[in-house]
Amino acid sequence: MHGPRIAMNGRRVFNRSGSEFVLIQQADGKFEFIEPGKEMRVLGYLKAD
């Protein structure tokens, strides 16, 4: 199954300007950022080493 999703491991994080995001670690080790209250969209990925 592909597409945006909220996983059980989603956790709330905040950036430096105080905006709230939900951080989800994908099965492939990447991180998906979702901004709550808006249409669900991927804001960026971080490569986990």
Please report the pLDDT score of residue 7 as a whole number: 47
Separation of CA 30 from chain center: 9
Banded model confidence at residue 1, pLDDT cuts 50, 70, 90: very low
Please report the pLDDT score of residue 20 as a whole number: 79
pLDDT digits (tens, 9 = 90+) for 29-40: 777 777 777 665
Q: What is the 3-state secondary structure (H, E, C) of 10-47?
A: CEEEECCCCCEEEEEECCCCCEEEECCCCCCCCCCCCC
Please report the pLDDT score of residue 47 as a whole number: 60
pLDDT digits (tens, 9 = 90+) for 7-33: 455 677 777 788 777 877 777 877 777
Cα–Cα distance between 36 and 12 in angstroms, integer? 9
Please report the pLDDT score of residue 18 as a whole number: 80
